[in-house]
Each structure stands twice: as C-alpha cells, then as structure tokens.
Amino acid sequence: MKSSPHFAGPWLLEQGVHNEEGVVAMGSNFLCANGYLGYRGTFPHWRKESYVACVVEDTWDNADGTWSELSSIPNGLYFRVENAEGKALQTSTAPEAKSFLRLDLEKALLSGSMDFDLPESGRMTCSFTRLANISGIHLLAQRIVLSADTDCSIIAVVGIDTDVWSLNGNHFATLAKAQRATNAGPGIDMRTGQSGIDIALRQALLLNGTKPKEGTNFTIQEGIMLRPFHLDLRAGESVTIDVGVSIYSSRDLPTPQEEAEEDAKQFLEQGFDAIREEHEACWKKIWERYTVSVDSDDDAWGILNFNTYHNVIATPAHSDHLPIGARGLSCQAYQGAAFWDQEIFNLPGHLYAQPETARRLLIYRYKTLDGARRKAARLGFEGAFYAWISGDSGDELCPDYFFKDVLTGRKIRNHFNDWQIHISPDIAYAIRSYRIATDDHAFTVGEGAEILFEVARFIASRVVWLPRKGRYEIHQVLGPDEYHENANNNLFTNVQCRFALTEALETLQRLKREQPKRLEELTSLLQLEEQEIALWKDIADKLFIPGIDPTTGLLPQFDGYFDLEDIAPSELAGRLKDSNEYWGWPNGIAFETQVIKQADVIQLFYQYPHLYDKETMRRNYRYYEKRTQHRSSLSPAVHAIVAARLGFADEAYRYFLEAGLIDLYNSKPAISGGTFIGGIHTAACGIARQMAIQGFAGVEAYEGGIRFEPALPEVWKKLSFPFYYHGNRIEVTVGKKQARFEHKGKGKPIQLLLPEKAVELKAGESVEVYL
C-alpha cells in the first residue's frame, strides 16, 4: 500500500507506512469526529509525540494567557500490547509486515492494522475499527482485534493517557481518577484552569463480547491509567476488545459525571456492533442529502466525498450556539473558533443540502450578537462588529499579536481583530443567501433582521464622509488579502458594506409591508429612528466603489494598489531569509508589492457573479491570478469557481484539484510566522461541493428561482446531486449533451433560468435541458 494517502474507490481513503513528516497531516486526514468531539487518525499505541489528540467542542480555556482554545482531553482509547514480561512489543520491520489506515467515508469508520514482532519468533497483528458516534455524539468507540501466527502469551493493555498533546499549555487545574466509574473500566474527572469547565470521561470495556472478570487492577505509568489483561493466544485465533469512551462537560449539562457514567453503561448493554449499526444508519441519511457524484476517470468523486465528510464532521449540527472551527476538531489550531470562513465557505456546503444546519449556524451569530456589540463599543463604534475569531460568547478571541518575526523573535502587531471589518457584512451576505435558498420568513423577520440592522449601524459608524468629494469612504482596513493591512477603500469590503446596507433597508421595507408589529418591536428594542435609517440609505447611495480604469480595464484592489511594486510571487519568494517568515504587514516581503495572499477582487467575482460583465471579470481574473500566492487554503476553490464561470475550463479544473487535495497532499505549511496552523482546512472542505455545484454545474439560487449555466470539465462524463430550494428536493444531473432537473418536492413551481430562456419546473415533474 502507498505511503501517501490515496483513494481505493470513491469512498475509501487509504495510507500505508507513514513517515514522521506526514504524521500531523495523517492524523487530520483520517480524523473521526461528529461535531462534538474529534479524535485524530492515529494508531492506538501512539502518544502525544505522534500528535494524538481528542478535542472537545465548547471547552474553551486559556492556559498561557494569550490563546483561548478548545481543550485536548485525555486519550481514552489508548491501547498497547506487551510480552509476558511486560515489555511493549515493537513494530515489525519485516518487508511483508502490514501497517495502514483506511477511512470509510460513507460509513465514517476508521480502520487500521499494524504488525508487531513477538519475542522469539512470529508476528502479532493488531487491527482496529474506530468511530465517533454520530447517533450519540458523546461516545467514541473502538474495536481491537488481536491475532498471531504462532502461539503466544501476551498482555493487552487498555488505558487512559493523560499526557496529551496540547498546543498552548496544560488546560487542567485538576485531573484525577473518578470516584464513580463503571465496573468495566476507569474514569477521569477534570476541570479547566481558567474557564472552570468540568469534563468527565468514562471508559467501558468488553472482552470477546463480555464484561471482563472483576479484580483486574488499575496501574499508573508515565501518565497513563492502565488496565492489563494477560492472554494466551493460539495461532490463527483472535481476541476482540471493544472500548467505549463517554465524554461530557459542564457546558453540556450540570452533571457531566452522571451522564458519562450512564453512556458508558449503555455501551456495555448495546455493544459495539449495535452502536456501529446506528452510526452507519445516520450516515446513510446524511449522504442522501450531501452526495455529489461524479462519473469520471480520476479521483474527483473521492475528492468531493473526502471534503464533504470533513465539512460535516467539523460542524456542530447538534447546537445553535457553537461555531465551525477553522480547523474543525482536528486540532486546537485557530482556537476552534469561527472566522468569516464559516459564512462564506462552510455554510454554503450545508445550505443546499441540509438547510437546518445553515440556520443553526446563523442562529449562532444571533446568539453572539451581544459579543459583537461589545466589540464595536470597545473600539468606539456602534452596532455589531463581529469578532474576527469567535468562540462561544462572540467576544474577540484574536490576539493583537498573532505572528512573530522569525528573524528577530519580536511579536508582530497584526490588525485582524480591528481592521478586518468585512466580517460583519459577510454575515449579512450569508443571511441573504439563506433567505433566497429557503424562503424562511420567520428567520428573516426575526433573528436575521436584528443582525442586519446592527451590522448596518456598525457600517454607518465606521465610514468617513469626505465633503469635498461628496462621498463616503472606508479607511484603514484589510480585505481577504491579509498581506495588505491599513488599506483604504478595499473594493471587496466597500461592496460588501454597500450590499449589507441595502439588504438591511430592503428587510426594513419588507417588515413595513408584511410585519409592521415586528418592525415596531425592533425599532423600540434597538432605539432605531428615521434619521438613522435615512443615513443608511445615504451611505448606500454615496459609498465610494472603486471603478474600472478606462485605460486598462482593471479594478483596483484598494487605493494605490497599482503603485506598488509589480513582481511575481515566485520571484518575490527569493527575498526570504527564512522560509517561515510572515509575508504581510508591517514589514513582510509582500506588503509593498502587488503580490497578494489570496483571492480578493476575484473573491468579489465569486460572491457577485453578475456585478460586472464577463469581459471585465476575465481581464481582472487574468491580472490578479498571476499575482496571487494562494497561501490561504480559501483561494484555490474561489479561483476554480470563477474560472469555470468565465470559460477557463482547464484552469478551473486545475484549481479544483489543488483545492480538493490541500489536506491530502499536505500542501499548506503547518507553521506560519512561528504559529502552528496545521490541521484540516475546513473552509476548503466546505466549499468543495460548491466547486462542483456552482462552478461546474453552474447551478445557483437567486431571487426568482434557480440559474443554470454549466461548464462541465472535459474529464467528467456526468455530475449528479440533490439541491434543496425552498424546502424542496431538486435532483440534478448534468451530462455532456443534456441535463435533467427533477422536482421531488410538493411546493410551488420553480423558475429555472437557462442561458437562453426560462422554464417552469413543477412539483413531481422533470425538465430535460439540451446543451
């Protein structure tokens, strides 16, 4: 088996013998998670030096005084095999020895196997199957199967490893053996030091399908709470050890110890097979909504499945008060918190598959609205300035000093947390997308309206009025391209702000017509007056939007962009003195050049595909694409979608592969500017479905229905997926010469806007489109 990750069909990801450099990426790629907890894809006998970790949602704690991050808790699935004298068996180095991991994406099951040398002769095989239960999110389960090619006496050691991998320090002020635990295994109770969160872990164990005999003692060695089992194993026979680990915190309920105890007992009653069956049944229902199938001769379908899997398991779909972390639950990088990625990249991956999940993510933003208000007030503004890095409360988690200068060791003052203002209108943009896709009137006039009004209020307090020019401008910001801080009139930011104001005003008019009492409630709650509303309209009408240069046809990313040094990213890289240097503001090598970190003007084209004519977008795409470094994982997918829409077919597919394989090929650095940023790139995973749906199928929801303008890659024969619109399931199939839309719902007819005409798609009927 190959030592690099590869697909064995569209639903199986495999990796053979690993190398030390690839351990971080392997643990992330083969992650088992369910939106509540994430257990990295590692072998059972590995410890923290191999980046073993179990990260639990909603357990934010600050251990080092700088970084508030999710807690990495003790490893309740630790397992090793010893010889009869208690010495750990060594991994076999024989040429025929097996060592592999296999992730079944369809069933969300990780399996693996590793061979160990026995003391005198022969080998033992340790195989395992692991799941993070999606039907009962507080449970991890693992089955170990031991077999040998010769008779042997061994000690099977089941344990809880308390010496964990944690990025920014030990998060537990107390950590002790539980006083109450199941009679089949130990437990750990812990409390975080800064946040005071209680976390309970209980372990339950079945040996060959039954509870083990009483009286086996627990021992503690090197931070591991161990339970040894002395076994005599005959050649060709096997022993099965099933372990269930139940995890609760006081953020879930007041008595996490009792609930963890009950779940552990339930594991003993149900057994591994029954839990696995329920888990697989739940995943079958998930894939019925999320699957985008591709008929091609390459790994495109597998790439889409892999990325969709990771978007789903990173999302706390069980909750409406938790975010999607930028690295999900694959590690603690980026603090398990939400960025703008959540609304612009992750949310669309759910919106047209499971709209209720998208709604929960927006409710999260409503529940953190007070945190956004606090941030705005602290910085001298009004309304809602959302946190650039947002956890459970919505208060800003982004530190002032995110990176350090690796040449001097001095901290770099970045302004992600106070100048990157597009986060607030980004959320307004997501609210509009949700409204168009779902027609959820209750949310629009309820939580959505309040967010929109507070975002509009913030923008009105942030713009500056220039009397001599007779216009409003927005100064001292940074757009999606984070290398160029302290910019004036970033095109993307200004357009987003104008859009947010317009959406707030249109929502206000809709409330006047349809829900006057609700409008009265909101105006009273927010103390909203006509004078303020008039100001919003004035800003929307007079906000400066940088225009197209009549000579070059180019749009400036921000004021003065074209005055900067024009140099290619590859040539600029030659100026580095250290490969880990941060390229951006204030003294990075890219700051005074036109080299940009990621899509910025092209990001605008992705979100507003009809704002400019195609020739303008093509000209600007060609200009900015050459100057984009793609340091951010968000960038290639945006380029793929825009390139597909503009007819750059080969380029679009190249970027599709680059975006879809970012994690599998481990193409992004784990460390930047001295800060660990490894783990799964959940935003790139989230937008993967949209590369296929919005980019290649050319399907998007708009105010009046569904647009369709396909650009299928040459190597794809057919693309099929469900698309949920206004509560109706539309099954879409796009081929080379024709496409089919089938309305599986019971709702109203849907307007299907084709390149040359509009047709009506009625419930229970289908429409054939010849291309």
Q: Which residues contact 64 (CB under 8 A, 6 or more apart)?
A: 168, 169
- Residue 512 annotated as binding site: no
**3-state SS string for 162-195:** CCCCCCCCCCEEEEEECCCCCCCCCEEEEEECCC
- Going from the C-alpha of 733 to that of each of 437, 710, 739, 763, 764, the distances in angstroms are 19, 11, 5, 17, 16
Active site residue 482: yes
CA–CA distance, 655 with 637 (Å, rounded to integer): 6
The candidate with the shortest Cα–Cα distance to 7, out of 589, 657, 709, is 657
Q: Which two tokens stand for residue 228?
A: 């040894």
Beta-strand relationship, 401-404 and 293-296: unpaired
CA–CA distance, 406 with 264 (Å, rounded to integer): 47
Q: Please work out, in degrees rounded to the nearest 5, the angle formed at the alpha carbon of residue 607 by the alpha carbons of 605 and 610.
A: 60
CA–CA distance, 743 with 732 (Å, rounded to integer): 9
Sign of the Cα pseudo-torsion (170, 172, 173, 175, in order): negative
What letter does residue 114 receive in the DSSP assignment? E
The candidate with the shortest Cα–Cα distance to 721, out of 255, 260, 288, is 288
Q: Long-range contacts for 173-180 (Cβ within 8 Å, ≥24 apart)?
A: 175/74, 177/218, 177/225, 178/202, 178/257, 180/257, 180/261
Helix (H) or strand (E) holding 140: strand 139-148
- Residue 341 annotated as binding site: yes
Please report which residue ranges of 576-665 form alpha helices under DSSP H.
601-607, 614-625, 635-646, 649-660
Q: Which residues contact 393 (CB under 8 A, 6 or more apart)?
A: 368, 370, 371
Q: Is 331 helix (H, G, I), strand (E, B) or coil?
A: coil
CA–CA distance, 209 with 184 (Å, rounded to integer): 12
CA–CA distance, 737 with 735 (Å, rounded to integer): 6
The candidate with the shortest Cα–Cα distance to 618, out of 644, 655, 637, is 644
Catalytic residue, chosen from 482, 503, 625, 651, is 482
Q: Is 502 helix (H, G, I), strand (E, B) or coil?
A: helix
CB 579 within 8 A of CB 530: no
Q: Is 701 helix (H, G, I), strand (E, B) or coil?
A: strand
What letter does residue 217 receive in the DSSP assignment? P
In DSSP terms, 111 is beta-bridged to: 102, 129
Phi, psi dihedral angles at 529 (to 5 degrees): -115, 160
CB 328 within 8 A of CB 345: no
Residue that the structure tokens 């290639």 belong to: 636
Looking at the annotation, which residues are catalytic? 482
Binding-site residue positions for substrate: 340-341, 597-598
Binding-site residue positions: 340-341, 597-598
